[in-house]
């Protein structure tokens, strides 16, 4: 009788323990997540455009429960698996954060309103092409299908050529291109709020075509309608100053509805005037100078 009672007690204990684990297993799910980016095609081109992913998962109170970092060198990139209790969540994804980016609001329990980043520093901004995606999800106990998060391009690519400087007998080292109110950092919550600085772009000489050129500058699309001011200076004397949006809205060659947008801009210096033009020979996204 003693042994029977002990056996029954063990069975009862195991039963209660298993029920607890079953309830826990019923609530905790291992969820595969796939990140995709289609650009302007029907094919997923994320691996071509995105080299790193930061995914932030928030609960219904907008509190961070997971921060996942993915690198393109990983075998399963751009896929990952997270373990979550069943329920509702929001996945916020940023692609191509610079490796020196300074992130805030990434501690577990942080509010979504605290999530922000500076790409490098206020005095040394970088031009990493940024991509963004967010999705509301509701994880059920019987969920088995992977979650798909689609990213979208946040940037356009600006490249500026300075033409006619030789005819004006200007030395390249005496010319300076300044972008005022250049966005370098962002606070993420529904919209991106910019942290601005003034940026002086490096000008290099293209000897074959006799012009100066900037680097490719990846700038937030939201800046197209913001006061992004560009100045060209010669020995600190202004040659021209203009707002980028004023130039773009006069051109029919730039399709701003696309995911990948190139804006090739010429500043043509003449003895009595300065001309601005969007290069007419650039078609879609195939100009080698942007690669």
Helix (H) or strand (E) holding 245: helix 244-248
pLDDT tens-digit readout, 36-64: 999 999 999 999 999 999 999 999 999 99
How far is it, in rounded angstroms, from Cα 26 to Cα 32? 17
pLDDT band at 216 (very low <50, low <70, confident <90, very high): confident
The residues, ordered by sequence, that sit 6+ positions from 169 with a Cβ below 8 Å of its Cβ are none
Angle ∠(229,199,283) on CA atoms, nearest 5: 65
Question: At residue 74, does pLDDT exceed 50?
Answer: yes
Nearest Cα to Cα of residue 67 among 47, 53, 78: 53
Question: At residue 102, does pLDDT exceed 90?
Answer: no
Question: At residue 4, does pLDDT exceed 80?
Answer: no
- What is the model's pTM? 0.79
pLDDT tens-digit readout, 107-158: 999 999 899 887 755 455 556 789 999 999 888 766 667 889 999 998 889 9
């Amino acid at each position: 009788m003693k042994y029977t009672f002990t056996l029954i007690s063990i069975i009862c204990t195991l039963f209660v323990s298993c029920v607890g684990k079953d309830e826990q297993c019923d609530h905790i799910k291992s969820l595969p997540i796939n990140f995709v980016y289609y650009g302007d095609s029907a094919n997923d081109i994320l691996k071509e455009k995105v080299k790193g992913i930061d995914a932030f998962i928030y609960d219904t109170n907008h509190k961070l429960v997971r921060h996942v970092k993915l690198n393109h060198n990983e075998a399963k990139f751009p896929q990952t698996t997270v373990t979550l209790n069943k329920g509702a969540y929001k996945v916020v994804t940023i692609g191509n954060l610079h490796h020196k980016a300074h992130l805030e609001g990434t501690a577990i329990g942080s509010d979504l309103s605290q999530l922000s980043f500076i790409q490098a520093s206020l005095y040394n901004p970088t031009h990493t092409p940024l991509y963004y995606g967010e999705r509301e999800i509701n994880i059920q106990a019987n969920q088995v299908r992977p979650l798909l998060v689609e990213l979208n391009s946040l940037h356009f690519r600006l490249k500026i050529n300075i033409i006619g400087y030789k005819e004006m007998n200007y030395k390249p080292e005496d010319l300076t291109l300044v972008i005022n109110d250049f966005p370098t950092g962002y606070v993420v919550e529904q919209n991106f709020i910019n942290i601005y600085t003034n940026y002086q772009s490096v000008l290099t000489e293209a000897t074959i075509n006799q012009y100066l050129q900037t680097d490719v500058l990846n700038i937030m699309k939201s800046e197209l309608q913001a006061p992004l001011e560009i100045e060209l200076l010669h020995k600190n004397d202004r040659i021209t100053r203009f707002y980028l949006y004023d130039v773009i809205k006069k051109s029919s060659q730039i399709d701003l509805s696309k995911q990948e947008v190139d804006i090739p801009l010429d500043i043509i210096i003449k003895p009595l005037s300065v001309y601005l033009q969007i290069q007419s020979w650039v078609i879609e996204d195939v100009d080698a100078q942007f690669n």
